[in-house]
Amino acid sequence: MGDDADETERELRAAGAMPDAGLDIAHLALLLAARDRPEISPASYRAHLDELVAAARDALRDAPAMMPASIAAGALAGVMAGMFRYLGDTETYDDPRNANLAHVIDRRKGLPVTLGILYLHVASKLGLELAGLNFPGHFVLRLRCADEALVIDPFNGGQALSAADLLALLRSVEGPQARLTPEACEAVGTRDILLRLENNILGRAIRANDFGRAREVVTRMIWLAPQRAGLRFELGRLEVHAGHMGAAADAFATCIDLASGLGEVRIAGMAEEALRRLKTKLN
């Protein structure tokens, strides 16, 4: 991948050192996409992002932050799902292209989280208070306007979701006994959304037993979130699969240091046990 790959790595590492509030979600998602599609021209995709923003600005001319949430959400959905036809890929949901923002822009379909990133980008440029939620299994967004809030589903044309809709969605993912908790409706930051995007790719690689691919994905997740102890543990496991025992030991040791410093006792204990077993094998 050459110089372009080196530059994307530098930018992703720089993002890892930045506070969450300073992160540009669509720009970083395109950098991640370019790691898998080095042939793309980022400028053309950035131009399309500008086109989305311009169209949404035209549709939301009158102080969108002061509009009723239902009106603002409808106008946003009209642009994203109506004018530009961004919809969820219901036919080939597991297609890996659905987790790559460049492919999603090319195909106008993707996963909830990739589509959500486009909505978040547009909203941020228009001053709309739109946030991703910690909802399991299906990424949704909460729009706040004029002292009211509305949850919308970027996968299903930006439609509004009631509490009953959210409960039904949750039960479709977690089973009929699932309960809607406050944690599921908590806002998450840009870094966590990007990690959620990459975790889709990681999960598919692991299920396919493509551990080399999984290692690549975890590595760039670490660039974005170098303080996440769990990612170092996962890297250690993948290094063991690759036969890189020294690198695995380093990853587990780093995990222990990070987890201990953050008070994450469980993950520190797991890493200590993994490191102990690894050293037993090496001796």
What is the tens place of the pLDDT at every residue in 82-103?
Answer: 999 999 999 999 999 999 999 9
Do 166 and 76 lie in one domain? The reply is yes
Label residue 1 by pLDDT band (50, 70, 90). very low
**194 is a domain residue:** no
**For 247-277, how does the pLDDT look when each residue is reduced to its tens digit (9 = 90+)?**
999 999 999 999 999 999 999 999 999 999 9
**Would you give the DSSP letter of residue 18?**
S
**221 is a domain residue:** no
Label residue 281 by pLDDT band (50, 70, 90). confident
Work out the percent of the chain whose per-residue pLDDT is above 90.
89
Label residue 19 by pLDDT band (50, 70, 90). very high
Residue 2 has a pLDDT of 58
Q: Are 190 and 121 in contact (CB under 8 A)?
A: no
Residue 226 has a pLDDT of 97
Residue 189 has a pLDDT of 97
Q: Given 188, 204, 237, which residue is the final one in a domain?
A: 188
Do 140 and 8 lie in one domain? The reply is yes
The radius of gyration computed from the CA coordinates of the chain, to the nearest angstrom, equals 20
Task: Work out the end-to-end distance of the chain between its first and last CA atoms, rounded to an integer number of angstroms.
Answer: 38
**84 is a domain residue:** yes
Q: What mean pLDDT is reported for the chain?
A: 94
Residue 283 has a pLDDT of 64
Residue 282 has pLDDT above 80, yes or no: no
The Cα 23–Cα 121 span in angstroms is 11
Domain enclosing residue 65, as ranges: 2-188
Look up tokens 């306007």; give the residue.
145
Angle at 213 (CA atoms; ends 41, 279), nearest 5 degrees = 140
Residue 67 has a pLDDT of 84
Do 149 and 24 lie in one domain? The reply is yes
> Global pTM?
0.94
Residue 64 has a pLDDT of 75
The Cα 240–Cα 193 span in angstroms is 28
Do 243 and 134 lie in one domain? The reply is no
Do 57 and 145 lie in one domain? The reply is yes
Label residue 147 by pLDDT band (50, 70, 90). confident
Do 143 and 276 lie in one domain? The reply is no
Q: Are 188 and 145 in contact (CB under 8 A)?
A: no
The Cα 14–Cα 22 span in angstroms is 11
**63 is a domain residue:** yes
| β-bridge partners, 86 | none
Do 184 and 235 lie in one domain? The reply is no
**205 is a domain residue:** no
Give me the number of domains the chain comprises: 2
Do 45 and 174 lie in one domain? The reply is yes
Do 67 and 163 lie in one domain? The reply is yes
Secondary structure (H, E, C), 73-121: HHHHHHHHHHHCCCEECCCCCCCHHHHCHHHHHHHCEECHHHHHHHHHH
| 188-205 core/surface letters (b: 16 or more CB in 10 A; e: else) | bebbbbbbbbbbbbbebb
**For 32-73, how does the pLDDT look when each residue is reduced to its tens digit (9 = 90+)?**
999 999 998 889 999 999 999 999 999 988 667 778 899 999
Residue 179 has pLDDT above 80, yes or no: yes
Calculate mean pLDDT across residues 235-257. 95
Residue 75 has a pLDDT of 93
Residue 165 has a pLDDT of 95
Do 129 and 260 lie in one domain? The reply is no
**DSSP SS3 for 142:** strand
Helix ranges, the chain (H): 2-16, 25-36, 42-59, 69-77, 101-107, 112-126, 163-174, 190-207, 211-224, 229-242, 245-262, 265-282
